Amino acid sequence: MSLFSKKNKEIFLGPLSKNNPVIVQVLGICSALAVTAKLEPALVMSLSVTAVLAFANVIISLLRNTIPNRIRIIVQLVVVAALVIIVDQVLKAFAYDVSKQLSVFVGLIITNCILMGRLEAFALGNGPWESFLDGVGNGIGYSIILIIVAFFRELLGSGTLFGFQVVPQFLYDMGYQNNGLMILPPMALITVGCIIWFQRARNKDLQEK
């Protein structure tokens, strides 16, 4: 079996759109709301989740035949927790400011439904390479949504992108103001809702009857 067979491509590309963990399966919404007020923390959070998801998937997939079925959730949690702690420590060492902004949400990756969902649904039944692809695919699917949401929230809420001023000063002089509501969590939910709306309008097969 080749590394990039049709099936593997499907595993990798599915979560990007048709089977997106956030906007189709509606998992991991909490963190999508909490860290998307600015692009930078959203990007760091996306990378962290993708890394944890990919490696947790691989490790669980390798262990899948030795894990006793009754305690599999605990084993999964231990693996995820270990990876999350590593990520957290790396962030504290190399990106302290962002780590402070993300505060507890890096630690809370452990409770992210996407992780447990992929481990249970995919890694326990598939080989390490497929699991790795699945983890990266889902991680990127999550990241796309986070970054789109954060883009609009930061642009409209703070007038900046990655901390750089993009809304020109003359607009402010003319009376433009940043929209404070975009910084608040409700608008993250509404933005995610709009993306779901857009996605379903384009993909008729996702629409419920």
Partner 1 sequence: MKALRNYLDKIKPNFQEGGKLSMFHSVFDGFETFLFTPSTTSKTGVHIHDSIDSKRTMSVVILALLPALLFGMYNVGYQHYLAVGQLDATSFLTVFMFGFLAVLPKIVVSYGVGLGIEFVVAQWKKHEIQEGFLVSGMLIPMIVPIDTPLWMIAVATAFAVIFAKEIFGGTGMNIFNVALITRAFLFFAYPSMMSGDKVFVRTGDTFGMGAGTIVDGYSGATPLGQIATAADPSVAVVDVLGNPIGTWDYFVGLIPGSIGETSTLAILIGAVILLWTGIASWKTMGSVFIGGAFIVAIFNAFGGSAALETSVWDHLFLGGFAFGAVFMATDPVTSARTETGKYIYGFLVGVIAMLVRVVNPGYPEGMMLAILFMNVFAPLIDYIVVDANIKKRLKRAKVTKA
Nearest-approach distance from CB 170 to partner 1, in angstroms: 15
Distance in angstroms (rounded) separating the CA atoms of residues 171 and 209: 45
What's the maximum distance between 2 C-alpha atoms anywhere in the chain?
66
Length of the chain: 209
> Based on CB atoms, which residue is closest to partner 1, 65 or 177?
177
> Based on CB atoms, which residue is closest to partner 1, 73 or 194?
194
> Based on CB atoms, which residue is closest to partner 1, 127 or 180?
180
Residues 146-185 that bind partner 1 (CB under 8 A): 175-177, 179-182, 184
Nearest-approach distance from CB 168 to partner 1, in angstroms: 16
Contact between 207 and partner 1 by CB under 8 A: the answer reads: no
- Cβ atoms of 56 and 76 closer than 8 Å: yes
Distance in angstroms (rounded) separating the CA atoms of residues 14 and 91: 29
Tokens 């969902």 sit at which residue?
117
Contacts of 73 (CB under 8 A, 6+ apart): 116
Nearest-approach distance from CB 25 to partner 1, in angstroms: 22
Nearest-approach distance from CB 33 to partner 1, in angstroms: 16
Q: In the complex, which residues of this chain contact partner 1 (CB under 8 A)?
A: 175-177, 179-182, 184, 190
